């Protein structure tokens, strides 16, 4: 059966990273995707910003939209305090399968719940089915045209509270213009832009942090 790029990333990790060592998993995905095949991981430059914003937030409950291969999932899970809850939503079963193996190899299986499905179906279930009260930190990195509707859905479902951090990848490349305009002008968020570069490339990109005012 013909292998996919995501399966090749997984194989490289299994063969080169150290089991139970999240940083070696992160470094090996970055090595493979910068030297062999580009892939849409948040990468090490934006990843460092993600680490710092996450540490500042020190969250109890985290949601990620767009697991992909689990690169940012591992970056986030490795920094969470004991007992914190971390849910990540992935739409594509093949990507979810790769991500689960990468998360497990990193030794973080017990810290993360990978939920397969569509955000518009999963978000309304978070309170009752997944026993989430409020989200302290949301990392948004899925389809760019879903950033805005899903942020508004999080609001509608009462999942954001004063101080909830929404951190979005790719607000320059590929860009999420409607999302950016909304969070910066609707009056419900305090926004900060973190300029950086597109993963493994010289093109400019940025993360946007939108803190809910409650």
- Residue 39 CB, shortest distance to ligand OZS, in Å, is 9
Determine whether the annotation assigns residue 118 to a binding site: yes
**Is 141 among the residues that bind ligand OZS (CB under 6 A)?**
yes
Determine whether the annotation assigns residue 170 to a binding site: yes
**Is 196 among the residues that bind Mg ion (CB under 5 A)?**
no
DSSP 8-state code for residue 48: H
DSSP states of 9-47 as a string? Answer: HHHHHHHHSPTT-HHHHHHHHHHHHHHT------HHHHH
Rg (CA), the chain: 16
Closest to Mg ion by CB, 136 vs 169, is 169
Which run of H or of E encompasses 151?
A: helix 147-156
User: 44: Cβ–Cβ under 8 A, 6 or more apart, which residues?
Assistant: 26, 30, 199
**Is 141 among the residues that bind Mg ion (CB under 5 A)?**
yes
Among 90, 169, 205, 208, binds Mg ion (CB under 5 A): 169
Partner that binds at residue 7, options Mg ion, ligand OZS, none, CB closer than 5 to 8 Å by kind: none
**Is 68 among the residues that bind ligand OZS (CB under 6 A)?**
yes
Among 65, 74, 106, 207, binds ligand OZS (CB under 6 A): 65
CB 106 within 8 A of CB 127: no
- For Mg ion, the binding residues (CB under 5 A) are 141, 169-170
């Amino acid at each position: 059966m013909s292998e996919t790029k995501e399966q090749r990333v997984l194989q490289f990790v299994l063969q080169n990273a150290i089991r139970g060592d999240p940083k070696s998993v992160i470094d090996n995905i970055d090595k493979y995707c910068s030297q062999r095949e580009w892939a849409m991981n948040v990468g090490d430059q934006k990843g460092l910003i993600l680490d710092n914003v996450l540490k500042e937030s020190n969250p109890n409950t985290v949601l990620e939209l767009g697991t992909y291969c689990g690169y940012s999932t591992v970056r986030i899970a490795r920094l969470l305090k004991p007992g914190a809850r971390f849910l990540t939503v992935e739409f594509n079963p093949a990507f979810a399968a790769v991500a689960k193996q990468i998360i497990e190899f990193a030794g973080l299986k017990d810290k993360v719940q990978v939920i397969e499905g569509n955000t518009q179906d999963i978000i309304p279930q978070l309170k009752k089915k997944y026993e989430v009260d409020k989200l302290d930190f949301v990392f948004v990195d899925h389809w760019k045209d879903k950033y805005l509707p899903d942020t508004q859905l999080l609001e509608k479902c009462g999942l954001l509270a004063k101080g909830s951090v929404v951190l979005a990848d790719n607000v320059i490349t590929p860009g999420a213009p409607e999302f950016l305009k909304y969070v910066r002008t609707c009056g419900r968020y305090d926004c900060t832009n973190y300029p950086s570069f597109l993963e493994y490339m010289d093109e400019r990109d940025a993360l946007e942090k939108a803190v809910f005012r409650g």
